Structure 1
Amino acid sequence: MFEVRTRIGRVVLQVVATILILPYLFPLIVMVKGAFAGEGAKNFSAVLRVPGFGRFFLNSIIISVAVIALVYVVTMMAAFGFAKLHIRAREVYFWLLLACLTLPEVVLLAPLFVTDFKLGLYDTYWAVILPLAALQVPFAVLLTRNFINGLPNELFEAARVDGANSWRGFRYLVIPLTRPIAAAVVIFTLVAAWNDYLMPLVFLQSPQLQTITLVPQFFVGEFSNDQTKILASAVITAIPEIVAYLSLQRLFERGLAAGSIK
């Protein structure tokens, strides 16, 4: 990170940052504006009156929390192993894990569909939770490993001298010191799990298991396509993510900067 000390430099940096943000901000403005078009606030009331809306919201929470928990546990343990433990051919395993980043979600649908049927997971929460968690782990490990690499080796050596094994070092050193990068992992995972549309659409057929991302389908039919209510549902869907980001903003920014590739 760098620091701009002069007033002119700060002004130039602010202008450049604003210009870079505009392409991302414009779609959000259009979305909010479209959500209030037509009937205005009644568009949001119509979304909230969708049959089972509360259940869809709860299903999204259950799936997102489960995915975040799985990704956090797996990521922290894997990143600690790749960064600080002496494992034979660990770089080979690490790059094999990163190779999973090249797999798009749609390519996995057919094998996952067959696997879910054979394991009896189809039309259950696990049919969505496990694939979503697996898809998020490689990138999360990439970020977290770089963060843990920055922790001084002397800390772990001192812990070993005091009699602590790898598990105690992980529990009492890694977990407390990795809160910033953990916040970044939580935000990225929440966004991916909460916004996912394809997995719930394919693997959750029961109405009582569907998620909030499937709400717009209630306003699209053979003879209707109410875009204002679709945009209103998108705004409502985005609110929990915005709240989560604002709550973890400082830790998220610190973790993202420290865990980035250097």
Structure 2
Amino acid sequence: MFEIRTRRAKIVLQIVMTLIVIPFVFPLWVMVQGSLSGQGWENYAIVLAVPELPQFFLNSILVAAATIAIVYVCSMLAAFGFSKLRVRGKEIYFWMLILALTLPEVVLLTPLFATTSSLGLFNTPWAVILPIAALQIPFAVLIARNFVDGIPDELFDAARLDGASTFSGFRYIVVPLTRPIVAAIFVLTFIAAWNNYLLPLVFLQDLSSQTLTLLPQFFVGRFSDDQTKVLASAVISALPVIIAYLSLQRLFERGLAAGALK
């Protein structure tokens, strides 16, 4: 780890870090400031008074929780298999999976629409959960595999000598030791599932099944466009993501750094 000792170097580093952070903080500041324009805190009261808000919140929790569960199970099992199991052609399968990272969400709308309609999943939460999970699994496997690669093979050899099965090695060795990377996967998947706007807009047609990201649509109509309420809705929608990140910040940063380095 690098250590900066001189005061001048610390000042330069502080200035550089501040300049890097400003482009990311400025839009958030504008969003909060805009949400307080006009009626001030009354904007938030009006947004919170929307009758469908609790249902939207519950729908978002359902989508996020189910997506996280699917991504966690699939990515950790895949990472364990790619890292520690002897599977013929596993590197080919791994890079085929990584190629999925190049697929943009918009390009997949038409085949996803046809698939969900044929399976009877259209206008159900699964029409949103499964595509989001599928789009998140490749990157989750990438960082999880690098993390599992750091677990010594001697632990698995010792477990086999004691009569443990392959699944027992995964359960009692991989699962406890991968908590940092799990936190990173949790936060990244939660952000992707909670903030997704396009898939709920296309695949969830009933008002009762829509998610919190569609809340601003209540204040944008053909003859009205109340941007203060739209910004207040955006702030309310972003709060759970901010809380989740702050709660798991240390584990997230540790896991992401360990998963990014092999």
TM-score by length of 2: 0.97
Structure 1 residues 38-74: Cα deviation after superposition (integer angstroms, max 9, x where no partner) = 1100111111112311100110000000000000000
1:141: which partner in 2?
141
Match of 1:12 in 2: 12
Question: Any unmatched runs of 5+ in structure 2?
Answer: none
Distance in 1, matches of 2:119 and 2:29, equals 44
**Which residue of structure 2 lines up, in the alignment, with residue 172 of structure 1?**
172
Partner of residue 25, structure 2? 25
Q: What does 1:3-82 correspond to in 2, within 5 Å?
A: 3-82=3-82
Distance in 2 between residues matched to 1:130 and 1:3, nearest whole Å: 45
CA distance in 2, matches of 1:46, 1:228: 11
Choose 152-161 or 32-41, whichever is displaced more: 152-161
Distance in 2 of aligned mates of 1:76 and 1:176: 12
1:113 aligns with 2:113: yes
1:105-254 to 2 correspondences below 5 Å = 105-254=105-254
Q: What amino acid is aligned across from residue 97 of structure 1 in structure 2?
A: L
Letter in 1 for 2:116: D
Q: Which amino acid aligns with 2:191?
A: V
Q: Match of 1:168, as an amino acid? A: S
Give the alignment's Cα RMSD to 1 decimal: 1.1
> What is the alpha-carbon distance in structure 1 between the residues aligned to residue 6 and residue 78 of structure 2?
43
> Structure 1 residue 206: deviation in Å?
0.9
SS of the residue corresponding to residue 37 of structure 2 reads coil
**What is the CA distance between 1:222 and its match in structure 2?**
1.2
Structure 1 alignment gaps of length 5 or more: none
Cα distance, 1:10–1:154 mapped onto 2, change above 3 Å? farther
Q: How far off is 1:150 after superposition? A: 1.1
Cα separation, partners in 2 of 1:3 and 1:155, compared to 1, 3 Å: farther
TM-score after normalising by structure 1: 0.97
For 1:74 and 1:184, the matched residues in 2 are separated by 15
1:130-150 deviations in whole A, cap 9, x for unaligned?
011000000111111111111
Which AA in structure 1 matches 2:129? I
Report the Cα distance in structure 2 between the residues aligned to 1:14 and 1:80, rounded to whole angstroms.
40
Residue 66 of structure 1 aligns to which amino acid in structure 2?
A
Query: Structure 1 vs Structure 2: percent identity of aligned residues?
Result: 63
* Residue aligning to 1:97: 97
Measured in 1, the distance between the counterparts of 2:96 and 2:3 equals 38
SS of match in other structure, 1:39: coil
Cα deviation for residue 162 of structure 1 reads: 1.4
